[in-house]
Amino acid sequence: MPESTYDIVVIGAGIQGAGVAQAAAACGYKTLVIEKFPEAGLGTSCKSSKLIHGGLRYLESGQFKLVYECLRERKRLVKNAPQLVKLIPFYIPVYSNSMRSSWMIWLGLSIYSLFSFKKFSIVNKSEWESLDGLNLKNLKCIYKYFDAQTDDKKLTQAVIKSAEKQGADILYNSDFKKSDIQESKHIVTYIKDNKEYSTTCLCIVNCTGPWVTPTQEKIKPLLKTPAIDLIAGTHIIVDRPITGGVYYIEAADRRAVFVMPWKAQQTLIGTTERHYSGNADNLKPDETEKRYLLETYNSYFSYQLTTDNIIESFAGLRVLPQNNQSTFNKSRESLIITNAKLPGLITIIGGKLTAYRASSEDVLMKLKDIMGPPEQQKNCDTRNIKL
């Protein structure tokens, strides 16, 4: 049974909510998580490309800090969750008509390797034939480096379990309905099994991913959140295995697409980018996106996939700040928003699965500023907690 009062109520048990709950509980704050789905990680956090990576392509848009931070977090996750986060080879083939030249990729990988202390190499020509039927015509060279793959849902559930172990209470099938202020405390109301319940807290953390705006509108006093864009990204899973590692290929429109080994004998291919303005609950992969992914795969590999090879497809929503930049150039860092008019509210917008722990640490710093130290102070350091 949840208690009647908490230090912190976290809304949403995606990777961000799980991370914040883990960090807050590890520090000694009385923490409650409210999640509308029956399990953690059923929102965006099970619909990602499932990579724990710095994001080589973010170097192109100058996001050096993000890449450095993500690579540092990748190292920690490989150490703390070796059963869930595994380094695997990544291949970048460069053809005579590739849009990114060989020297550009060499430069990017040099910076990546400097940030991660992991070397990259050029694949020997004698090994090209063994790479999953990759087209060899006009192939100039293949770069090989290492990055990590995970199961995003299982990772999120491991973090929420860790939060529970640190003392957080988690409520599933619980829909946040509203919150009001009374004597500088929030009265949080949620619906569970068609009944309405309330609990009080000093601080609310809105971690509802693509539902961030409708959630914010239920928190009184009403504050304006920064305008956001929702960008849908689709993946397909096909019934044909690849074994060599992850292939990092360029689609006809210059976007990066990953072809990744997935579970037994399957391949995960993604992702796409399209603006989405509907209700986040109704998002579905669209047929054009599926065709785009099949065509991109088919232009690189000798085996030709058809729609019959697709066994599953899914779509997730990235939350990106609304500005004049193209989707490609928009920052992938998480925005942690506070407001002097309502200090007991923190809102997280965007961010990477990979960097959840670092952004949760930043949230915790802000929570400490707002609430002071917890009654029973604990270790606080999530850097070495095993998952």
Which residues in this chain contact ligand FAD in the complex, by CB under 6 A? 11-17, 34-37, 42-45, 47-51, 175-176, 207-211, 215, 233, 271, 316-318, 351-354
Distance of CA 370 to the CA centre of its chain: 27
Task: Give the nearer residue to ligand FAD in terms of CB position, either 183 or 193.
Answer: 193
Q: How far is the CB of 272 from ligand FAD (least distance, A)?
A: 8
CB of 352 to ligand FAD, least distance (A): 4
Q: Between 211 and 262, whose beta carbon lies closer to ligand FAD? A: 211
Question: Smallest distance, Å, CB 235 to ligand FAD?
Answer: 7
Q: Output 102 or 200, the one with its CB closest to ligand FAD.
A: 200
Q: How far is the CB of 46 from ligand FAD (least distance, A)?
A: 7
Q: How far is the CB of 133 from ligand FAD (least distance, A)?
A: 24
Q: Are 259 and 242 contacting, i.e. CB atoms less than 8 angstroms apart? A: yes
**CB 33, CB 17: distance < 8 Å:** yes
d(Cα 50, Cα 260) in Å, to the nearest integer? 9
Distance of closest approach, residue 213 Cβ to ligand FAD, in angstroms: 10
Choice between 28 and 316, CB closer to ligand FAD: 316
CB of 372 to ligand FAD, least distance (A): 26
Reference 48, options 315, 299, 386; nearest CA is 315
Query: What tokens were used for 79?
Result: 């150490």
Phi-psi region for residue 182, left (φ > 0), alpha (ψ -120 to 50) or beta?
beta
Helix, strand, or coil (residue 82): coil
CB 284 within 8 A of CB 291: no
Give me the least distance between CB of 128 and ligand FAD, in Å please. Answer: 27
Task: Compute φ and ψ for 325, nearest 5 degrees.
Answer: -75, 155
**3-state secondary structure string, 243-305?**
CCCEEEEECCCCCEEEEEEECCCEEEEECCCEEECCCHHHCCCCHHHHHHHHHHHHCCECCCC
What is the rounded CA–CA span in Å between residue 275 and residue 327? 9
Burial class (CB in 10 A: 0-12, 13-18, 19+), 129: exposed
Structure tokens given for 210: 């693509």
- The helix (run of H) or strand (run of E) holding residue 141 is strand 139-150
Question: Amino acid letter at 132?
Answer: D
- Residue 102 or 189: which CB sits closer to ligand FAD? 189
User: What minimum distance in Å lies between the beta carbon of 270 and ligand FAD?
Assistant: 6
- Which residues, in sequence order, are CB contacts of 136 under 8 Å at separation 6+? 128, 129
